[in-house]
Amino acid sequence: MEDGLTHFFSLTQAGATEINSQLHNTKIKNMDRRKLFKNGLTLAGGTLLASAAGARIPGQETGIGGLVQQNTSSTTPGKRKLGAKLEVSCIGLGVQNMSRTYQTTIPSRTEMHNIIRTAYDKGVTLFDVAEAYGPLECEKILGEAVAPFRNKIVIETKFGWNIDPETGQWSQPGLNSNPEHIKKAVEGMLKRLRTDRIDLLYQHRVDPQVPIEDVVGVIKDLIKEGKVLHYGLSEPGVQTVRRAHAVHPVTAIQNEYSLLWRGPEEKIIPLCEELGIGFVPWSPLGVGFLTGAIDANTKFAQGDIRGGETRFSPENITNNLALVEVLKKWAEKKQATPGQISLAWLLHQKPWIVPIPGTTQMAHMLENTAAYEVKFTADELKQFNTEIAAIQIKGERLPSFVASLSGVEAPPKK
């Protein structure tokens, strides 16, 4: 999702119809969200769950609008801190697409290793993955790649789905944050990642069947055992964050956030500031849109989740492309690319925000990493924000059945 995304939902028409019917007829407060995944909904890895950002459509290796890629050879990202103690590079790398791209192609495993290792050579120390990506396969790819320098980086991964940690098969569709399942999931992660600990472990989505106190309780046990060092939540409800933080300090929240989707600014980012929690945006490049890779003529591949996002529908995309035009203008002014301007803007929001753009292209990784060098003066940032504020993005960021998994509050502890 940050994105040359690889993992995606495969929907049959019957499955989609059933999901929409359930959403319409069920009260959200008491909804059993596991039902959303039955009758034809298969999680092939999790385009919706993501952590990859920056996919361009093949063939667009140079800058948008004729711009040449800038500053991709010497940059070394600075350091930032997530929570009270976890120091990472200011830009990370999402590896979600490295087993299968948005367009459903299978990347070269050797080249994925090369991209990960080159990112490390360029100063990247935060690498993002999840059991759902593959499923399981992206954790294996990352573990293979980082073995020579494992102790010098931070690995973050995610649990929370009904995935067999040995086979990658779904025991039944949907979420699963039951404590015993979490323990088994972590054991599988450690094996695939070839490590003895997970630096930052996220709950991928809040499970509406399991109190967050139970989830954090088992994570605390894993921390005492040395198998987990820090933990976080992805796309959680605000009260769930507060409850989790009261049991054990939350290190980071991971939500979609970019110039294309600024929803977290309303509640989640202020909450992170209040509680001292780091913020890790997934899809910081708007699933490739903010790089200029998507336009009014773009046709999405079969199975590409972006084809179901109404922000890219014919009736909305022309309006939304005004945002890209602003980025192109500033890219030319800054001798950068639209994607670099987008990432630089994120870095200027808060000193504890760390985007994790993902890609399967070496050139894109180098470009994304170099965004650290793009700086705004106070006056420039004010002018940029004024121009952006004049554009109202139309359409939804995700299909409704996927969006319904975000902002969920865990049930109360009885």
- 8 A C-beta contact, residue 221 and residue 391: no
- Percent of the chain whose predicted confidence (pLDDT) is above 90: 75
The secondary structure of residue 300, as a DSSP letter, is P
Q: Which of 104-108, 120-124, 152-156, 272-276 has the lowest mean pLDDT?
A: 104-108
| Span 299-314, pLDDT tens digits | 998 888 899 999 999 9
Catalogue the long-range contacts made by 33-38 (C-beta closer than 8 Å, 24 or more residues apart). Answer: 33/174, 33/175, 33/208, 33/404, 33/405, 33/408, 34/162, 34/172, 34/173, 34/174, 34/175, 34/209, 35/174, 36/174, 36/401, 36/404, 36/405, 37/173, 37/174, 38/173, 38/174
Res 74: pLDDT: 52
DSSP for 346-381 reads HHTT-TTB----B-S-HHHHHHHHGGGG----HHHH
| Span 360-376, pLDDT tens digits | 999 999 999 999 999 99
- 8 A C-beta contact, residue 87 and residue 317: no
Q: What mean pLDDT value characterizes the chain? A: 85
Domains with residue ranges and CATH for the chain: 9-24+31-56+67-403 (3.20.20.100)
Interatomic CA distance for residues 368 and 354, integer angstroms: 12
Interatomic CA distance for residues 106 and 128, integer angstroms: 19
Q: How confident is the model at residue 345 (pLDDT cuts 50, 70, 90)?
A: very high
The whole-number average pLDDT for the span 354-361 is 97
Residue 35 has pLDDT above 90, yes or no: no
Give catalytic status of residue 372 as yes or no. Answer: no
Write down the catalytic residue from 120, 133, 231, 257: 133
Interatomic CA distance for residues 289 and 2, integer angstroms: 10
Please report which helix (H) or strand (E) contains residue 42, including its range.
Answer: strand 41-43
Q: How confident is the model at residue 65 (pLDDT cuts 50, 70, 90)?
A: very low
| Span 215-257, pLDDT tens digits | 999 999 999 999 999 999 999 999 999 999 999 999 999 999 9
pTM of the entire structure? 0.85
Amino acid present at 45: G
- Percent of the chain whose predicted confidence (pLDDT) is above 70: 81
SS3 93: strand
Higher pLDDT, 216 or 20: 216
Res 109: pLDDT: 96
